[in-house]
Copies of this chain bind each other. A is one copy, B any other.
């Protein structure tokens, strides 16, 4: 007596990807509703089942759908926005400013639809996501019929969907309550990373995850810098720190884990955490090479992710499988490392287990959901076929097959693609909407990049504000002239300081841009020791408001900000036409002279070696005040020992001789 079922797939090379790597050829699947009833050789299936529909797979490979273990699918809309940049410039200079401005529910939905279309086409049936407005990702994915772990991002900074983390946390709770139990979507919470969260946030997300028994999806140990900072701030690397915040009490999916040691691998194993390895992203951002072979040998569930398409730049898991195998060989110096069957297991069974979906998907086994793909292995790049080695078929899929060889995709018993045709997604209009976003974002960035000031403001690098300053400067043959003058009764010294200053000036084409000065200021105490260091960024307007007699200048628009990033960051972000470096020793006094407050700088230029200069400066608020101070400044600088002929108008960079 035959069982009556919905669907029979026959005449395939079936790779079950179960723990024994069972294969059937020719073989197939018996599917009823959303689930697999049987996987077996054709003869057995035909003998046991009567199906409403029988599909001849024509010798294609029938295997579990691929699991993309880590992505930010809506960033598909930011693909190609900025490439070949360092992580900080890319993230802080481009991604975050654009996200702050453009990421909306509409953006997230459109990006998710585009990403789902791309993933279905390349054989992905399930993905682990983390983004803002994650509700929209869940909705779009469920509509399209794909499976996903959807994590609502929580972090300590204001986000496109929340001004404070309490808001994201509340949104996450509601999101989880709405979606928990959905047949395709597993809601989750996504504390972005230990370094972008506080201990309070981490602990709160763990509590929420435990309350609803949902996974935590997070980034751990992506870069060496992250680990170094964790050691400095917390006296321990990233995994122990996360453990200390109880993170691993929840079901964790940890993306990257590039910089972790043996002990940390065992911590992850002990707590059943899954890992998402992201080969392309780690290579493209030069984050390093994750110890994947060691993680696998230890028994960790390591899946493969594409990461977001803004750092990849696509969602192609065939590429990632191949790269995972290649990288492990390169890293261990052993070409037998991470052979093809393991790479394919990472993209299927191990990935599903890393998402804590191992009971549902990841292999073709009775009782699991019918998430599967058909792959044509008869294209030009994939012939001939060798079959002597039982692993040849896996090598064929990992080393030669392309995502475009995937012809058919089913999720939860529903076809999403037949013969390259998407069935559940209205493609029309999506591309045009995406191009429209790109045009608007391009315009936003182009406008921003027209001036150094707006680029500076875009990274939160300055508060806009104006100040007027009267300034006069002179070469001085001997510093003792100034020191002697300062002892005279005409001058009252309010306070004095000693600095050693390293100034990098970024010079831009087009004088209207002004120049940007990155200053490292060493405070020298009375014993001659460095007591503090301050980093400051100053945008110096090239235009002078007025030029008073005796070369007294009125300058305007100096935007000051603490320099929170490195010189290297600013260099790569602002891309100056050229750079000028000045090192000087500065004695600085605040004085009263003729009833007016002035700053006096006595500078010794060490690099280049240009001798001594004296500067007299005074802040001012009105033109009249400025005219008055201009006059007194001139008196003062002459009083300090300068002669009228010594007065110069140039800023220091203009005095530096050009280098070859």
User: Residues on A close to B: CB < 8 A?
Assistant: 77, 79-87, 90, 114, 117-118, 121-122, 280, 282-286, 288-289, 309, 312-316, 319, 322-323, 325-327, 329-330, 332-337, 339-340, 378, 380-389, 391-392, 395-396, 399-400, 402-404, 431, 434-435, 437-438, 441-442, 445-446, 449, 572
Check if B330 sits within 8 Å of A399, measured CB to CB. no
Check if A442 sits within 8 Å of B118, measured CB to CB. no
Which residue in B80, B289, B384, B399 is a CB contact (below 8 Å) of A312?
B399
Docked pose: A118 CA to B323 CA in angstroms: 21
Docked pose: A85 CA to B325 CA in angstroms: 12
Which residue in B77, B117, B286, B396 is a CB contact (below 8 Å) of A333?
B286
Check if B330 sits within 8 Å of A283, measured CB to CB. yes
**SS class, residues of chain A in contact with chain B:** helix
Check if A395 sits within 8 Å of B313, measured CB to CB. yes
- Closest Cβ of chain B: how far from A253's Cβ, in Å? 24
Check if B319 sits within 8 Å of A84, measured CB to CB. no
Which residue in B77, B86, B121 is a CB contact (below 8 Å) of A336?
B86
Nearest 7 A-B pairs (CB), nearest first?
A384-B438, A84-B339, A283-B326, A83-B395, A313-B399, A384-B434, A286-B335
| Residues in chain B near residue A431, CB distance under 8 A | 378, 383-384
Docked pose: A396 CA to B309 CA in angstroms: 11
Check if B449 sits within 8 Å of A388, measured CB to CB. yes
27 A-B pairs whose Cβ atoms sit less than 8 Å apart in the complex: A80-B384, A80-B385, A80-B392, A80-B399, A83-B340, A83-B391, A84-B340, A84-B391, A85-B335, A118-B380, A283-B326, A283-B329, A284-B325, A284-B329, A284-B335, A285-B335, A286-B333, A288-B333, A313-B399, A314-B400, A323-B326, A383-B434, A384-B438, A385-B435, A386-B441, A387-B438, A388-B449
Docked pose: A315 CA to B117 CA in angstroms: 27
Check if A121 sits within 8 Å of B388, measured CB to CB. no
Docked pose: A16 CA to B432 CA in angstroms: 28
Check if B313 sits within 8 Å of A400, measured CB to CB. yes
| Residues in chain B near residue A396, CB distance under 8 A | 80, 313
Which residue in B322, B326, B442 is a CB contact (below 8 Å) of A388?
B442
| Residues in chain B near residue A386, CB distance under 8 A | 80-82, 438, 441-442
- Tell whether A289 pairs with B330 under 8 Å between CB atoms, given A80-B395, A84-B339: yes
- Tell whether A384 pairs with B77 under 8 Å between CB atoms, given A399-B284, A399-B313, A431-B378: yes
Docked pose: A441 CA to B282 CA in angstroms: 39
Which residue in B87, B339, B388, B445 is a CB contact (below 8 Å) of A445?
B388
Given A289-B330, A387-B438, 14 further pairs, Cβ under 8 A: A79-B382, A79-B383, A80-B386, A81-B386, A83-B392, A121-B381, A283-B329, A283-B330, A284-B329, A284-B335, A286-B330, A288-B333, A319-B322, A383-B431
Check if A84 sits within 8 Å of B380, measured CB to CB. no
| Residues in chain B near residue A81, CB distance under 8 A | 386
- Closest Cβ of chain B: how far from A417's Cβ, in Å? 12
Docked pose: A175 CA to B560 CA in angstroms: 72
Docked pose: A261 CA to B121 CA in angstroms: 44
- Closest Cβ of chain B: how far from A192's Cβ, in Å? 20
Whose C-beta in chain B lies nearest to the C-beta of A312? B399
| Residues in chain B near residue A441, CB distance under 8 A | 386
- Tell whether A280 pairs with B330 under 8 Å between CB atoms, given A400-B314, A431-B383: no
Which residue in B316, B323, B339, B437 is a CB contact (below 8 Å) of A83?
B339
- Tell whether A381 pairs with B284 under 8 Å between CB atoms, given A85-B335, A336-B85, A400-B79: no
Docked pose: A387 CA to B449 CA in angstroms: 13
- Closest Cβ of chain B: how far from A378's Cβ, in Å? 7
| Residues in chain B near residue A330, CB distance under 8 A | 282-283, 286, 288-289
Docked pose: A383 CA to B340 CA in angstroms: 31
Interface centre among A282, A330, A381, A399 (most CB of B within 10 A): A381
| Residues in chain B near residue A322, CB distance under 8 A | 319
| Residues in chain B near residue A403, CB distance under 8 A | 402
- Closest Cβ of chain B: how far from A416's Cβ, in Å? 14
| Residues in chain B near residue A435, CB distance under 8 A | 383-385
Check if B316 sits within 8 Å of A381, measured CB to CB. yes
Docked pose: A519 CA to B121 CA in angstroms: 55
| Residues in chain B near residue A340, CB distance under 8 A | 83-84
- Closest Cβ of chain B: how far from A510's Cβ, in Å? 17
Docked pose: A282 CA to B335 CA in angstroms: 10
- Closest Cβ of chain B: how far from A367's Cβ, in Å? 32
Docked pose: A381 CA to B86 CA in angstroms: 23
| Residues in chain B near residue A280, CB distance under 8 A | 326
| Residues in chain B near residue A404, CB distance under 8 A | 402, 404
Check if B434 sits within 8 Å of A334, measured CB to CB. no
- Closest Cβ of chain B: how far from A382's Cβ, in Å? 8
Check if A437 sits within 8 Å of B384, measured CB to CB. yes
Check if A114 sits within 8 Å of B383, measured CB to CB. yes
- Closest Cβ of chain B: how far from A399's Cβ, in Å? 4
- Closest Cβ of chain B: how far from A439's Cβ, in Å? 8
- Closest Cβ of chain B: how far from A301's Cβ, in Å? 21
Interface centre among A77, A83, A121, A391 (most CB of B within 10 A): A83
Whose C-beta in chain B lies nearest to the C-beta of A342? B84
Check if A284 sits within 8 Å of B438, measured CB to CB. no
Docked pose: A339 CA to B575 CA in angstroms: 15
| Residues in chain B near residue A282, CB distance under 8 A | 330
- Closest Cβ of chain B: how far from A108's Cβ, in Å? 15
| Residues in chain B near residue A378, CB distance under 8 A | 431
- Closest Cβ of chain B: how far from A169's Cβ, in Å? 32
Check if B80 sits within 8 Å of A400, measured CB to CB. yes
Interface centre among A289, A313, A336, A383 (most CB of B within 10 A): A383
